[in-house]
Copies of this chain bind each other. A is one copy, B any other.
Amino acid sequence: MQLDRIVNFHKTIGDKTRIRIISLLKEGPLHGQAIAGKLGLKPPTISHHLTKLKQIDIVYQRRDKNTIYFYLNKDKLERMALEITRIGGNEMSEKFEITDGEKVKVIRNFIDGNGKLKSLPAQRKKKLILLEYMLRGLEHGKTYNEKEINEHIQQYHQDFATIRREFVMAHFMYRQDGIYELNPVEMWPV
**Which residues on A are within 8 Å of B, measured CB to CB?**
3-4, 6-16, 19-20, 22-24, 26-27, 74, 77-78, 81-82, 84-85, 87-92
8 cross-chain pairs, A with B, having the tightest CB-CB distances, nearest first:
A23-B88, A11-B14, A10-B14, A10-B13, A26-B88, A14-B14, A27-B89, A10-B10
Asked whether A23 lies within 8 Å of B89 as measured between CB atoms, the reply is: yes
Beta-carbon contact of A84 and B7 below 8 Å: no
Query: In the complex, A23→B10 CA distance in Å?
Result: 15
Chain B residues positioned under 8 Å from A20 (CB to CB) = 3, 92
CB-CB nearest in chain B for A58: B84
The residue in A7, A9, A84 that gathers the most chain B C-beta atoms within 10 A of its C-beta is A84
**Can you tell how many copies of this chain the complex includes?**
2
A6 CB, min distance to chain B CBs, angstroms: 6
Interface of chain A, main secondary structure: helix
Closest chain B CB from A78 CB (angstroms): 5
- Minimum C-beta distance from A88 to chain B (A): 3
A26 CA to B86 CA, complexed, in Å: 10
Question: Which B residues are CB-close (under 8 A) to A13?
Answer: 10, 14, 84
Q: Which residue of B lies closest to A82 (CB)?
A: B81
In the assembly, what is the distance between CA of A3 and CA of B92, in Å?
A: 31
B24 touches A16 (CB 8 A): no
Q: Given contacts A7-B14, A13-B84, A81-B82, could you give 4 more A-B pairs where the C-beta distance is less than 8 Å?
A: A12-B14, A22-B87, A24-B88, A81-B84
